[in-house]
Structure 1
Amino acid sequence: MKILFILLLAASTLSAKLNVAAAYPYIKELTKEIGQDKVAITLLSQGNWDPHFVVPKPSLIAHLRNSDLLILNGASLEAGWLSPLLDSANNPNIQENAKGYLELSDYMDLQDIPKNVNRSMGHVHAEGNPHFILDPHNVIKLAKVISLKLSLLDPANQGFYQKNFEAFKAAWEKKLVSFDKKMEACRGMNVIQYHELFNYFLRRYGINSVDNIEPLAGVSPNSKHTLELINTIKRKNIKLILQDVYHEHRTAHFIADKTGAKVVQLPHDVGAMKGTGTLEAFYTTLVNTVCR
């Protein structure tokens, strides 16, 4: 009986999954690629939500209380909503600097880092632009970081995570060749975007973001700036306005009506739009929409 109990306990330990809380859908997808059946993932947000203002649902507290690992974007993207959930969950394993805490921005070369920050600049992230996932070339680096973290927490399955990462890396490198080839035709193009959301993607492919519909980051459009944008678009013959899913669309379409520019809606994360439910579909949509 004692031997049977020990065998059952060992089998239970071997089959136990790591409980992972993922702040955003792209994190869930990457973690699923690496962890597969060794992880159970709780998603804290949805792809079509504004990532700055996620509703901290009380139902998530229990999941966080039982999580072995919390993976967040970082660069203050979760600053407005995650802290209340972590405080209520009271799980020391996933607090900042704990073993089960992973902030992906710590491993990225962030862009748009302001020299100083004050209220007159709007909602600016002091650490830099947090939307690094928009560059498909960052995906492999992020997958590697997640692989290493899973291996640290679950060393018995390190070989499994490493094997999955290598397979994912090989497949993603092929996708990057396709994305890069497609985007080459649009290098040098000028665009307008609503918010500085797509900078990493645009810079990767040599596309110029001339201005934003927001006069300042996080500040709603006003008449003066909108009229200036209309003149800029006409003067520079800009053909494309990039609209995300979670800001209002009315201003972009008003500007398009006055200038002849075309408004295209783009996803900012996996699942933000219909047909973007996987990492590949997300980036394929970005590439095919911007560079037709």
Structure 2
Amino acid sequence: MKKFITLLTLLPLTLLAHLDIAVSYPYIGALTKTIGGEHITTTVLAKGNWDPHFIIPRPSLIAKMRNADALIMNGGQLEIGWLPPLINRAGNPKVDTNAKTFLNLSHHVALLNKPKEVDRKDGDIHPDGNPHFHLNPQNILLLAGVIRDFLISIDTEHKAIYEKNYTDFSTAWSQKMKIWSEKMKEKKGLKVIQFHDNLAYFNNVYGLTNIGTIEPLPGIPPSSKHTIEIIELIKKEQPCCILHDVYHSTKTAEFISEKTGIKVVLMPHDIEALENISDLSSLFDHLTSAIK
């Protein structure tokens, strides 16, 4: 036993390392695990059916952050209300925003809908732009490359493995994107209503036109006045459907549907947002099949 322990102490640290990567959302966890493979574990802080804007910084999440070797966040201020307190309370320098083991994905993506000015009267807007960029499958491929480079930067020993895993993923994902593009081709130009504009990147890549939101302003519950205005807008513009997230009540959308005859379509935003969404592929399989 002593000889075995002595041998272990002589091995390079990188050969013994098994990185524990904390990530804010399930889609990031899936991407990180795909690229990292057996050399990492992922600790996902938020569940896929939760509202990504509002996560309670529970003590259990603080403990997970305290034990992490690195942190990958979505960014674009999507986690602004809950992740900073976790970072502060964890007291772990490895998840500090200035650490080399910290990655903000939004810094590597061109964000849509960046406001010219920020004022609270305009609702809960994101100063950096719309943060739901992962709902464009092209951005998923881009983010996979960003995560590959990040893992290599903190674990050079397994560079070749991370590169191979990325190449394999890129090949498979590119084939899937062709299928999704073909499925969505005939839907280009369709008008849609949303509850909240979390599908901006999905709509943009597939040519859907969002003509209004049930929220009068981001983060502001629908009023009776605004609901009536949306009903009148629907009657005038004839959109195909109401695209609705899974974490807000569909009560107002169902009321609007009854008054206008257009259907409400649940659009999951992340893995496990619905029971049949088990991975990234099934997420986009669902999204590209839901609008009929």
Q: TM-score range by the shorter chain?
A: over 0.9
Q: Shift of the alpha carbon at 1:11?
A: 7.4
The aligned residue for residue 282 of structure 2 is 281
The aligned residue for residue 61 of structure 1 is 62
Q: Shift of the alpha carbon at 1:13?
A: 4.9
Alignment size in residue pairs: 291
- Quote the RMSD (CA, aligned, Å): 1.4
Scaled by the length of structure 2, the TM-score of the pair is 0.97
Within 1, Cα distance between the matches of 2:56 and 2:195? 22
Within 1, Cα distance between the matches of 2:172 and 2:218? 36
The aligned residue for residue 101 of structure 1 is 102
Task: Structure 2 unaligned segments of length 5 or more: list them.
Answer: none
Q: Shift of the alpha carbon at 1:191?
A: 0.5
Given that 1:31 and 1:143 are in contact with CA atoms closer than 8 Å, whether structure 2 keeps it comes out as yes
1:250 maps to 2:257: no
1:31 maps to 2:65: no
Amino acid across the alignment from 2:36: G
Q: Shift of the alpha carbon at 1:239?
A: 2.5
The aligned residue for residue 237 of structure 2 is 236
Given that 2:14 and 2:157 are in contact with CA atoms closer than 8 Å, whether structure 1 keeps it comes out as no
Within 2, Cα distance between the matches of 1:15 and 1:198? 42
1:187 maps to 2:213: no
Within 5 Å, give how 1:16-27 maps onto structure 2: 16-27=17-28
CA deviations over 1:191-232 (Å, ceiling 9, x no partner): 100001101000111110000000001000011111111111
Amino acid across the alignment from 1:125: H
The aligned residue for residue 52 of structure 1 is 53
CA deviations over 1:258-281 (Å, ceiling 9, x no partner): 000000101011110111110000
The aligned residue for residue 146 of structure 1 is 147
SS of residue paired to 1:112: coil
CA deviations over 1:21-74 (Å, ceiling 9, x no partner): 010000000001001110011110100000010111101222211211100000
SS of residue paired to 1:196: coil
Amino acid across the alignment from 2:26: P
Q: Shift of the alpha carbon at 1:163?
A: 0.6
Q: Shift of the alpha carbon at 1:12?
A: 7.1
SS of residue paired to 1:204: helix
SS of residue paired to 2:184: helix
Given that 1:239 and 1:260 are in contact with CA atoms closer than 8 Å, whether structure 2 keeps it comes out as no
The aligned residue for residue 83 of structure 2 is 82
Deviates more, 1:259-268 or 1:87-96: 87-96
CA deviations over 1:68-106 (Å, ceiling 9, x no partner): 110000011111011111111111121112111100000
Q: Shift of the alpha carbon at 1:5?
A: 4.1
Given that 2:14 and 2:155 are in contact with CA atoms closer than 8 Å, whether structure 1 keeps it comes out as no
After TM superposition, what 4+ stretches of structure 1 lie above 3 angstroms from structure 2? 1-6
SS of residue paired to 1:264: strand
Q: Shift of the alpha carbon at 1:248?
A: 1.3
Change in 2 beyond 3 A, CA 1:122/1:13: same
Within 1, Cα distance between the matches of 2:13 and 2:98? 29
The aligned residue for residue 7 of structure 2 is 7
Within 5 Å, give how 1:166-245 maps onto structure 2: 166-245=167-246
Within 1, Cα distance between the matches of 2:143 and 2:47? 20
Within 1, Cα distance between the matches of 2:132 and 2:140? 12
CA deviations over 1:90-138 (Å, ceiling 9, x no partner): 1112111211110000000000000000011000000000000111110
Given that 2:96 and 2:102 are in contact with CA atoms closer than 8 Å, whether structure 1 keeps it comes out as yes
Given that 2:243 and 2:265 are in contact with CA atoms closer than 8 Å, whether structure 1 keeps it comes out as yes
The aligned residue for residue 74 of structure 2 is 73
SS of residue paired to 2:197: coil
Within 1, Cα distance between the matches of 2:49 and 2:72? 19
SS of residue paired to 1:191: strand
SS of residue paired to 1:234: helix
Within 1, Cα distance between the matches of 2:27 and 2:41? 15
